Amino acid sequence: MPGTRFDAMCGRETMWHRIAIALAALLALGAVAGCGRDAAAPPLVLAAASLQESMTAAADAWAAEGHARPTVSFAATSALARQIEAGAPADLFVSADEDWMDRMAQRKLIVPGSRETFLGNALVLVTAKDNPATIATEPISALRDTLAAQPVAMADTRSVPAGKYGKAALEKLGLWEVARPHVVAAENVRAALALVERGAAPLGIVYATDARASAKVRVVWTFPETSHPPISYPVARLTTSTNPDAERFRAFLVSDKGKAIFARYGFVPR
């Protein structure tokens, strides 16, 4: 991914941010591994970064019904998938696209019949709420000029679902070549959002739910649904799972009650 003038300013902070995320994920997985994955331990869920608030609320709702509260580890879908491939002792995987779940299925890492796509999302262009500048987006030629002149934060377009959706949308609209030199790469969609929140990038491409979760950004444009593959969130139980509560929690997530929780955070139930 091409660099930008923001790389030098953000490089050190991004490096430590990545280390912190990796350590947090390892600690969460290590804690479960250390307890021997006994039946009394709560399920461990590996969930896409864009699900932070909504999955936390779902875990809280499940616990309120008298169940052990699931432990949830959030990161880029690509990072979680690689943890699973490396033998992470988790129970459920919630991906932000079908490609990574397909890969898990091909490698026989998910339980047949447990996969279900239960949520959708939208893709938006955001800027900081306190940014006084007018961001021109209409007509498409104005958006082209905007993207040609300003850095735009995106999740890694090579592997992270949000970045892949964003690149696909820009390509479909004929905007990728003008935007590409100005892309500020982030390790996941929430990291891209954070760059916009603190003014490190004037623009960002994130999910609509990410923009909704932040009090520091505003949406300046919504990408047409036809400009990118459908944004979908499949969940599946992992073949390494031995926790009897994992399947029950998976069923709760895809139930009408579970999907209603995610709908409150802007996700589209499927």
Backbone φ, ψ for residue 55 (5° rounding): -70, -35
Q: Is residue 189 part of an annotated ligand binding site?
A: yes
User: To 10 degrees, what angle do helices 77-85 and 98-106 make?
Assistant: 10
Q: By the 8 A CB rule, do 168 and 228 touch?
A: yes
Q: Is residue 117 part of an annotated ligand binding site?
A: no
Q: Is residue 137 part of an annotated ligand binding site?
A: no
Ranges of beta strands (E only) in 3-57 are 44-48
Residue 116: count other Cβ atoms within 10 Å of its Cβ: 14
Instruction: For strands 92-94 and 44-48, give the pairing.
Output: parallel
Q: Is residue 214 part of an annotated ligand binding site?
A: no
Q: Which helix (H) or strand (E) holds 149?
A: helix 140-149
Q: Is residue 255 part of an annotated ligand binding site?
A: no
Q: By the 8 A CB rule, do 198 and 186 touch?
A: no
As annotated, the binding site for molybdate includes 50, 77, 162, 189, 207
As annotated, the binding site includes 50, 77, 162, 189, 207
